[in-house]
Amino acid sequence: MKIAVIGAGPAGMTAAYVLAKNGIAVDLYEASDRVGGMARTLELWNQKVDIGPHRFFSNDSRVNTLWLEVAGEDYAMVDRLTRIYYSGKFFYYPLKAFNALANLGPFEAANCMFSYAKGRLSPTPLDGSFENWVTNRFGRRLFEIFFKTYSEKLWGISCKELDADFAAQRIKKLSLFEAVKNALFSGRGNQHKTLVDQFAYPIGGTGMIYERMATAIRENGGTIHLSTPVQQVHTENQIAKGLTLESGTYHEYDQIISSMPLSLMVSRLPEAPEAVKQAANALEFRNTILVYLNVDHDNLFPDNWLYVHSPDLKMGRITNFRNWVPQLHGDEKTSIIVLEYWCNFGDDIWTWEDTRLIELAKKEIRETGLISEAKILDGHIYRIPRCYPVYKTGYKSILQPIETYLKTVDCLSVIGRYGAFKYNNQDHSILMGLLAAEGIVNNTKPDLWNINTDYESYQEASVITETGLEKI
């Protein structure tokens, strides 16, 4: 049996790793020159940095066992510090009661509580939008302060157009009561993912996990083809048979696991009905521009990352890699920070020259006051196309015929954030890759579409600690 895996992000790498470990011949194809996808680690200015902040946290023992198998003892537990920048002030996230009250002031705090009570006592009928869902859960004023601006920056659409499914997946179990309880009791007993205050992190950067997987794949006889984009997956009589590379070369396989963007893969399937191809072309992805700045200071601000909710700033998130693990910066005395800007292909900023983007980032980081008068030594731009699947209102009705059709195609699995059009974290993508590979090894067909960001693990639950796996 010979298997092809398309894409070397967390999902694709995990699938190829598990297959190779089980003695199955696997070819992995990656369009870029590195493995890791959005979870790769770069080397800049004699330091290591990730593609934005990538914490790893899971309570699924299958995922944690595999992660620890690869990481070994080469990880550290990082104490998370995250804040929200809004209206010139910094709010701790998760909330800290006195900080939130001091920043909001008594009048605004009372306004938030009144708005919350009003929303709970007289909820508006759910209309399928993110705005409506969050307003009903937290009140109009808290929605405007802590959800609206950031979400609209990220997705590029009004919160009225953003599907409530995004909220249901990411924050469905989070309530104002739980957030306040977390603030008052400093997170004791908290299990909600968005409030977790400590996470496991590889000392060589997030990408270390996938680079080690790549080494294991090769050692077990697998092949990794970097800078080798796939043009098309081929099917005959609803069975995946092989793929054609952009170079024009055709390769035959027994099974194909794809994590390439679902819209591109499906729209090029030779036997897919025209209606399914049109649905695939209607799916939208959001792009990211990362602006890295090398700042001449080794103690700028304490956060791992910050969310920028101020509407007067274009950036959406700031990460300070100096505050993760010391192995990233080594003996260097500067701090590398990265500012994230989100856009579409048609947006003007996507085609800006690097120098213009760096000047924008310099200006905006100064406006926050986070780096004071520290000198900015250099900048670097990294662009990521199609990295966020856009959950527009009603997106499921577009996705449904695609999902239905793909279930009729044998020997083809779609996984990962790009491949399955799911806003996955690392642990979700790892689980999809793991299950896809185990399905091939065990000759079963797991329903990968059910693995989503809100999945409930019915397996043994655990968390990673300093000493390894701990049951919960």
92 or 355, which is more confident?
355
Give all strands of the β-sheet with 317-320 in edge-to-edge order. Answer: 89-92, 82-86, 305-308, 317-320, 335-343, 285-295, 376-389
User: How confident is the model at residue 459, as a pLDDT?
Assistant: 57
CA distance 151 to 70: 34
Q: Which pair of tokens denotes residue 359?
A: 């000047």
User: How confident is the model at residue 191, as a pLDDT?
Assistant: 47
- Rounded percentage of the chain residues whose pLDDT exceeds 90: 73
311 or 192, which is more confident?
311
**Residue 373 DSSP code:** T
20 or 126, which is more confident?
20
Q: What are phi and psi of 119, to 5 degrees?
A: -65, -35
User: How confident is the model at residue 452, as a pLDDT?
Assistant: 65
Note the pLDDT tens digit of each residue in 164-176.
Answer: 888 776 665 555 5
- Burial of residue 296, with CB atoms counted within 10 A of its CB: 0-12 exposed, 13-18 middle, 19 or more buried: middle
- Burial of residue 435, with CB atoms counted within 10 A of its CB: 0-12 exposed, 13-18 middle, 19 or more buried: buried
The band of 436, judged by pLDDT with boundaries at 50, 70 and 90, is very high
Q: Are 184 and 92 in contact (CB under 8 A)?
A: no
- Burial of residue 308, with CB atoms counted within 10 A of its CB: 0-12 exposed, 13-18 middle, 19 or more buried: buried
User: How confident is the model at residue 166, as a pLDDT?
Assistant: 81
Helices assigned H by DSSP within 172-292:
176-184, 207-219, 262-267, 274-282
- On the question of pLDDT at 193 being above 70, the answer is no
- On the question of pLDDT at 291 being above 90, the answer is yes
Mean pLDDT of the chain: 91
Note the pLDDT tens digit of each residue in 236-274.
Answer: 999 999 999 999 999 999 999 999 999 999 999 999 999
Mean pLDDT over 200-204 rounds to 96
- 196, 200, 265, 183: which is closest to 229 by C-alpha? 265
The band of 188, judged by pLDDT with boundaries at 50, 70 and 90, is very low
The band of 192, judged by pLDDT with boundaries at 50, 70 and 90, is very low
User: How confident is the model at residue 124, as a pLDDT?
Assistant: 82
Reduced to 3 states, what is the DSSP secondary structure of residue 35?
A: coil
The band of 136, judged by pLDDT with boundaries at 50, 70 and 90, is confident
CA distance 309 to 246: 41
CA angle 183, 317, 163 (to 5 degrees): 80
196 or 346, which is more confident?
346
- 284, 280, 285, 283: which is closest to 402 by C-alpha? 280
Note the pLDDT tens digit of each residue in 293-332.
Answer: 999 999 999 999 999 999 999 999 999 999 999 999 999 9
Alpha carbon of residue 465 to chain centroid: 22
User: How confident is the model at residue 190, as a pLDDT?
Assistant: 46
Question: What is the model's pTM?
Answer: 0.91
Q: In sequence order, which residues have a C-beta less than 8 Å from that of residue 454 and are 6 or more positions away? A: 168, 169, 170, 172
User: How confident is the model at residue 175, as a pLDDT?
Assistant: 53
- On the question of pLDDT at 454 being above 70, the answer is no
- On the question of pLDDT at 373 being above 80, the answer is yes
Mean pLDDT over 106-128 rounds to 87
CA distance 329 to 46: 7
Q: Which domains does the chain have, with CATH numbers?
A: 2-49+59-74+203-274+393-451 (3.50.50.60), 97-148+162-185 (no CATH)
31 or 95, which is more confident?
31
User: How confident is the model at residue 49, as a pLDDT?
Assistant: 98
